[in-house]
Amino acid sequence: MSDRIFGAVGLLLAALFAYSSMIIEESFLSDAVGPKAFPLIIAAILAISSLTIILKPDAAPKWPTLPRFVELVASIVVMVLYAEFLPIVGFVIATAVASTYLTWRLGTSAIQSVVVGISISVGIYVIFHLLFGLSLAKGPLGF
């Protein structure tokens, strides 16, 4: 039963995400795909995943223990803080901090997490900003 509730919440979230992407105003200078395509793809993937969970629920779902649940909540808090601090500290710094924490919680050592977090941040910045020319949030250091 809990899987079906989770699937229904996911389906509702997919519908809201699709609706939100449909009301994005397009500029006359937008590319052929437009700004709606990527959010609609994400909404479709979420809807398909949610329908799969609704139609084929786990017979005996195993809920996380309290410590694991606290870690999950902490990860959600990190992602919310990431979204809040992104325009303030910029993409590179916010992404480095968030990915450092998340990789650390996935089991890497602290030093490895810092290296991976910085590498992820700089790598995404190079690919999306420098190669593809997409604008990313600029921080106080200008990148």
pLDDT tens per residue across span 22-65: 888 777 666 666 777 888 999 999 999 999 999 998 888 888 89
Distance CA 105, CA 3 (A): 25
pTM over 0.75: no
Averaged pLDDT of the chain:
90
Write down the pLDDT at residue 15.
96
Distance CA 90, CA 82 (A): 10
Burial (CB count within 10 angstroms: exposed 0-12, middle 13-18, buried 19+), residue 85: middle
- Give CB contacts under 8 A, 24+ apart, made by 56-64: 57/1, 57/3, 57/4, 57/7, 58/3, 61/2, 61/3, 63/2
